[in-house]
Structure 1
Amino acid sequence: MEENEDRYRAPALDKGLDILELLSSVDGGLTQAEISKKLGRSPNEFYRMLDRLVRRGYVTRLDGDRFTLTLKLFGLGQLHAPVRRLVSFATPIMRELAEVTRQANQLVVFDRGAAVVIAQQEAPGYWGISIRVGSHISLFDTGSGHVLLAFRDDEERRMMIAEHLRSTDKPDQPKEFFERLDQVRDRGYEMMASMQTAGVYNLSGPVLAPDGQAIAALTIPYITVISQPPAPDITRTIELLLGAVQHLSQLAGHGMGEINAE
């Protein structure tokens, strides 16, 4: 197997992909010397490749000597028909959910080892927790990640976790974690204190395909909002979230079927 993989290697392509993957993992960009150091190669190896990536619009220069990703890759990802269709279905539902709950919400899918935010709806008032579209978040310590794993069969779950472990430095999870996923599936949603922001509860529900597998997670980072009129309490917010994911599951299941038929 390894011999076959080596036979079809494309070193220049590998080099370009190494650069893109590295730049996607840092904020503020990197110099050519920093890129070469992190990838363990000579700076001269990357000069022409960086020049081509800049000319093609995938990378841009900051302050003359630092390189960072542009939004071109993200834009290409948005051209993928199923993602566009799912976001188009979700947008009015997410907007209505934000209005009735007075909370922000986001739509998350699994992609190449990570949970990725593909749509975000701001809270209608002054206060709310927002996550940038395109952000990669953990499968292990977020409500969205738990839901994406909980509503998959055992084989797909193992594949998702293996891919996540390859793309991060996180350890595999103990038995208790998988028991938690079973509880999430039985309950129909996840409710957990945020492991990133104090005072926030992640409320996450699954957007389901017709076969019962999660194609996305819709998540409300719930905060206690003191407003007039009063915002719904957390119990009522969960009910509204579950109504939204049920509606979106119906729409997405039909729409994704149309795409697959094409």
Structure 2
Amino acid sequence: MKSVKSAGATRRAAVAPADPDTGESTTYAVPALEKGLDVVEFLSAQERPLTLTGIAQALDRSPGELFRIVTVLARRGWIARLADDSYQLTAKLFELAHGYPPNKRLVDVALPVMRAISNDLGQSCHLSVADSGDQLVILAIESNGAAGVFVRTGTRYPLGTTASGRVMLAFGSEEVLAGAQEHSAVERITERPLPSDLPERLARIRARGFEEVVGEWLDAVVDICWPIFNARAEVTAVLAMPFLAIARRRVDVGAARQRAREGAEQISRALGAGDYEACLAAARGRKAAASGEDP
């Protein structure tokens, strides 16, 4: 029997910006569009293709309701109809996301740097941005060795529950923090609870400039994360390395930490940032000013 992941938490109404006169938000219903988005979001969570009947059952719809929806989605290239009349998501969403100018520039700059890090150390690494209250992985490089920890592109986690997400919260803008406090786009069924000492962790990250945590989710793995800055000295992404000690490589955590920092600094410079230490100091200053504390 095929495993089908629930789509119950993915369906949500479109909410318009607040009315400038009343300050109230208005909810608009566009049934056909919402059905199409339901199908795309649902298929994005499935490991195997599903028939129209299977999709309809999972979404609590009738096949007749979705027939024209999936036909149009297939014609436009968002989903693909296979020989057995099942459907799966195509790479169109991936291609569009990577063609989006901010992410495209970031990925183009980071890719050669991250490949070099992975080749030199035999470690996997990934690049994440803040998106709607979540950490979103937009680029991942797999270790060239026999062992490693790999995080797939497109993976989402709530900010605060991961090392990368905490770096974004520690140095990020007020918009990032506000997004994290609102309902996240990720389904709240997660094995990653928010740490009870989150404020203390964020303070430590700001003090030392990076996050490093041992065995948070996998024993013997050290998550090393450094912020990446743009030309305005704002955190635009986080470079992460889930470090796994490999005997024949003879690379220790200290060397991996330094190499990850160098990579984050190199990417930041390519994006127009100035001195890396100055960017860290500026980010600390902004957070201190926002909270009314001394930097």
**Which amino acid counterpart does residue 206 of structure 1 have in structure 2?**
P
1:93-108 correspondence to structure 2 within 5 Å: 93-108=113-128
Residues 187 and 30 (structure 1), Cα distance of their counterparts in 2 relative to 1, 3 Å cut: farther
TM-score, with normalisation over the residues of structure 2?
0.75
Tell me the distance in 1 between the aligned counterparts of 2:67 and 2:245: 51
The number of residues matched between the two structures is: 250
Structure-2 residue corresponding to 1:25:
45
Deviations 1:55-111 (A, max 9, x none): 221112356243221111111111112212111111221122223333121111123
Contact conserved, 1:203 with 1:219, CA < 8 A, in 2? yes
Residues 101 and 17 (structure 1), Cα distance of their counterparts in 2 relative to 1, 3 Å cut: same
Contact conserved, 1:102 with 1:231, CA < 8 A, in 2? no
- Tell me: higher relative CO, structure 1 or 2? Use CA pairs within 8 A at least 6 residues apart: 1
Structure-1 residue corresponding to 2:228:
207
Deviations 1:124-156 (A, max 9, x none): 433322223333344333222222222213453
Give how far 1:116 is off: 2.3
Tell me the distance in 1 between the aligned counterparts of 2:205 and 2:150: 24
Tell me the distance in 2 between the aligned counterparts of 1:138 and 1:62: 34
**Which amino acid counterpart does residue 152 of structure 1 have in structure 2?**
G
Give how far 1:16 is off: 0.6
Give how far 1:45 is off: 0.7
TM-score, with normalisation over the residues of structure 1?
0.83
Give how far 1:193 is off: 3.1
Structure-1 residue corresponding to 2:186:
167
Structure-1 residue corresponding to 2:250:
231
Determine helix, strand or coil for the equivalent of 2:246: coil
Determine helix, strand or coil for the equivalent of 1:98: helix
1:1-262 correspondence to structure 2 within 5 Å: 4-6=26-28, 9-62=29-82, 64-164=84-184, 166-169=185-188, 173=194, 176-227=197-248, 230-253=249-272
Tell me the distance in 2 between the aligned counterparts of 1:233 and 1:193: 13
Contact conserved, 1:142 with 1:194, CA < 8 A, in 2? no
**Which amino acid counterpart does residue 75 of structure 2 have in structure 1?**
R
Tell me the distance in 1 between the aligned counterparts of 2:221 and 2:201: 19
> Unaligned regions of 5+ residues in structure 1, if any?
255-262
Residues 3 and 127 (structure 1), Cα distance of their counterparts in 2 relative to 1, 3 Å cut: closer
Give how far 1:32 is off: 2.5
Work out the percentage of aligned pairs sharing the same amino acid. Answer: 31
Determine helix, strand or coil for the equivalent of 1:167: coil
Residues 79 and 16 (structure 1), Cα distance of their counterparts in 2 relative to 1, 3 Å cut: same
> Unaligned regions of 5+ residues in structure 2, if any?
1-17, 19-23, 274-295
